[in-house]
Structure 1
């Protein structure tokens, strides 16, 4: 069977709730491999909720549909404060990336408490800002940024990540609306260990199955290299 945009592969899926330190309940889901323990975990931080971003944004949803089965990776997705999806609506209100620090912390606390191993942050657009600003937690193994705009997260956040020392991979579309590969190389120079991967032909929203496959393969190459490249059939 060919893996298509709508393919959902076997996994154990569980609806979860996250509790933030400032008293909110956030809704989410964890998908883990069907018959074996995961080797690593993706903690997904979605795009801007005021522009339609949510835990079901397509690249994150497809990661949860495929990577537990294809790469033995657990995928934790959730709605940040005030964000709605089919799973439900998280309490609170959008706070421009500031109050969301407690949302990131709650997701990492859940991963730690439930023994989800080797957590990596995967942020997309607004989610990359949350990763850079609030993701420097000792349990985090690294971060993968999809379409980073570098607007809310600035030079001091990049320098701080450099000092944090964990891997940082930025996947930057050739035709991004906010930050393109050449400028991204200059900006991420503040992080000595950063790797900038320009993706030819891609746009900010990674629309199209070929670009989704590129993203998922780049994630797996860092998080569980033994499973790369991902198969296109099952």
Structure 2
């Protein structure tokens, strides 16, 4: 690693995480990318001149090993997360709920808590947490994911107040429909079902969110962009779309 400003991006093996790593590297950050799929991470790190480290945010030992070898952190992008299933509460799969809470909520907590001293020590730290419009409302059959995203967002928003007076800024980015591997994971690799989520709309793409992260990271130290909600033009709310036939 170099002594340049360092950004850490979780869930960086694809989608928003990978696009964000590229954007921050282009801005001059040394980017440490973490995820479970190390082969993808190593390709990305080679491309951007960053550092690839295996990371499972649901595993405390993995988080400890990951954070211990990073000497400096200026920017942390909490991007690791995801959804599983789309079932009504009456038919909820408890294992799916546990996975969503462990990944979105506890994962964000583990990484943020471990790296917070280094973010403060940097003198101008920035924590960007990628939540979702699901953190702002609800929709039928989505309670497992929406509840986890609400909790993740409140963790982040609470920290905003707790860190007043410290040299750390906090930005929550709440995207709407972004076409990545998100729906493939949610539907356990069912490509047809995943594609139907974006049928008839022009969704956001990963680079749209990455560009916003880059903009946030380029603001001067006195500017804190607290919350940014971004949706495709075809989306009004979590489950409300203009779908063209």
TM range (shorter): 0.3 to 0.5
Structure with the higher helix share, 1 or 2: 2
Structure with the higher strand share, 1 or 2: 1
Q: TM-score, normalised by structure 1?
A: 0.45
Larger radius of gyration: 2
